[in-house]
Copies of this chain bind each other. A is one copy, B any other.
Amino acid sequence: MKQVQDVASDTRERLMDVAERLFAERGYSNVPTRMIAEEASANTAAVHYHFGSKERLLEAVFHRRLEPMNRERIAKIKEAMAASGNGRPDVEVVLRAFIEPTLRKPRDDGERAFRLLSGRASTDPNPEVKRILFQAYDEVARAFADAIAKACPELSTEELFWRVACVYGAMLYIRADNGRLQPVFGKEFSLSDPEGALRYAIAFMRAGMQAPPAGPVD
């Protein structure tokens, strides 16, 4: 019984590992289920046996990583709110709660691959991909929006909306690591360096969030 389940979840796990890496490298639409099965030393039927469809495999890949990560983000956001005594939380603390879990050092190749995948998928127009991301991020997105609004009470909702978009964009661009800035700045710099991401990107974002309001468009 035990052994059967172990072997079973072994193939399942291997399929997710391979799919995660290939989706990150080549994009969901450009990875055939056959390729996933082959690299996982499994049969294409195994993909549909374990997940039902290619789309649900992607869903499982996201769920596996996002479940713990988003739980942590929400916990830290709530912590930041509580620390302020329900007053005005610190901008940098809120930013870190939202961003640190997504940009810190990956623990293994799987996490590294998923970091790429989630960044790249963020602008994927494929409706299957969009649906999965919407669902996966909705709760943490709302929690962050609430917290950052409380941390920046002098901003109108409109101005807040735009600044949050900039924060999202920066975070996701770093995660996606499309390699376009390497040839410009030199190969010694990499968006996949977690030290720089947390130190420099958060400094940028904090300054952006704390800039004096530009005020409404006349």
Contact = CB atoms under 8 A, between A and B. Distances in A.
B211 A123 contact: no
A124 B165 contact: no
Contacts of A89: none
Contacts of A184: 138, 141-142, 145
Interface of A is mostly: helix
* Number of copies of this chain that the complex holds: 2
A124 B120 contact: yes
A49 interface: no
Report, as a range, how many residues of chain A touch the other chain: 35 or more
A119 B123 contact: yes
A180 to B, nearest CB: 7
A185 to B, nearest CB: 5
Contacts of A181: 141, 161, 164-165, 168
13 contacts: A24-B125, A122-B123, A123-B176, A130-B178, A134-B180, A141-B181, A160-B185, A169-B172, A169-B174, A170-B170, A172-B173, A200-B214, A207-B208
